[in-house]
Structure 1
């Protein structure tokens, strides 16, 4: 199984990457996965060029393919002005519209204060819902003060467990099997006496 971690941290080292690594380590402790990290900071120019030129560089193309072919995703971003970073959004704007359909996704974010924690629910979760991903119930937000708090480890553990459960059930594998076109459903109803 392939787990792709998308980290939009801008600094080196990055608290966003640290959070993403802790989440992926918690998943790896539960199930055997091949982890690939996509560090968006390293792809920033490639992302901008693709937005204006219309085609990806080889490096960016590999990252987009990795996301499309992943069995599950951890998506982590710093929070700026009460939402995900522009780099994070720009990358996901380039992901194929059907690539995340039914794919388990764990959302995570970092920020200076706890007051930005709702960005998980009002920005990130709706974006991934729009992309038809299956977002785990527990999003993980880490403010600066949270790193010394044991509660962060509890949230990481809970979210990793939820992602592992979805990964093992692999909802993406069953999406096409479950969908019956509306026209077929109507035709079946007309045939009944």
Structure 2
């Protein structure tokens, strides 16, 4: 099984903190699973221009091909101005409409305000469903107060991430 973790922003640190914790737990509990963490802050991506994803080279080609080769995705996204970052939307735009067919996708959201808890339901999950992903229904919502000095300090968040990982692995094995 090949799981790609996507930290979907090119700025900020909270989502990366959550994704680092997630990949550590995933690697510890499921050492047989091949994992790849893609942090968009570490890559120079081109904007989508309608080409086939195989035609992109460099960082953009690496990101799209790695995602397309995955069996499952764990997508981490911060919420900016009550929306997903443009960098994450660009990743979705670079891929074909049916890119996530036969793939499982789960979501971790970080936000500065509890008012943004429905962004995953209203924006991310509909995109994943449109792209034919099998979406893990529960997602993890992390507020600013749950992170201190680049550490997840809320035990409930640890528990929910561990459950999300288990749900993602079980659903992927089922498919």
TM-score range, shorter chain: 0.7 to 0.9
Which deviations, in whole Å up to 9, do the C-alpha atoms of 1:72-129 show, x marking residues without a partner? 1111111012121111001111012222112111111111111111111111111101
Instruction: Give the Cα separation in 2 of the matches to 1:135 and 1:41.
Output: 25
Q: CA contact under 8 A between 1:47 and 1:91: conserved in structure 2? A: no
Instruction: Give the Cα separation in 1 of the matches to 2:76 and 2:14.
Output: 10
Instruction: Give the Cα separation in 2 of the matches to 1:78 and 1:60.
Output: 21
Q: CA contact under 8 A between 2:5 and 2:23: conserved in structure 1? A: yes
Q: 2:170 aligns with which of 160, 165, 186?
A: 165
Q: CA contact under 8 A between 1:68 and 1:96: conserved in structure 2? A: no
Instruction: Give the Cα separation in 2 of the matches to 1:66 and 1:107.
Output: 18
Instruction: Give the Cα separation in 1 of the matches to 2:10 and 2:60.
Output: 17
> How many residues are matched?
166
Instruction: Give the Cα separation in 1 of the matches to 2:50 and 2:166.
Output: 40
Instruction: Give the Cα separation in 2 of the matches to 1:62 and 1:18.
Output: 23
Is 2:65 the partner of 1:65? Answer: yes
Instruction: Give the Cα separation in 2 of the matches to 1:117 and 1:155.
Output: 15
* RMSD of aligned residue pairs (Cα, Å): 1.8
Structure 2 counterpart SS, 1:11: coil
Larger deviation: 69-78 or 143-152? 143-152
Which deviations, in whole Å up to 9, do the C-alpha atoms of 1:146-181 show, x marking residues without a partner? 233221112111111100101222x2xxxxxxxxxx
In structure 1, stretches of 5+ residues that fail to align are 172-193
Q: CA contact under 8 A between 1:30 and 1:164: conserved in structure 2? A: no
Q: CA contact under 8 A between 1:138 and 1:155: conserved in structure 2? A: no
In structure 1, the residue matched to 2:90 is 90
In structure 2, the residue matched to 1:22 is 21
In structure 2, the residue matched to 1:119 is 119
Structure 1 counterpart SS, 2:29: coil
Judged with a 3 Å threshold, the aligned counterparts in structure 2 of structure 1 residues 53 and 133 are, in CA distance, closer, same or farther, namely closer
Question: Residues 127-166 of structure 1 correspond to what in structure 2 (within 5 A)?
Answer: 127-147=127-147, 148-166=153-171
Structure label with greater radius of gyration: 1
In structure 2, stretches of 5+ residues that fail to align are 148-152
Q: CA contact under 8 A between 2:5 and 2:19: conserved in structure 1? A: yes
If the length of structure 1 is used for normalisation, what is the TM-score? Answer: 0.78
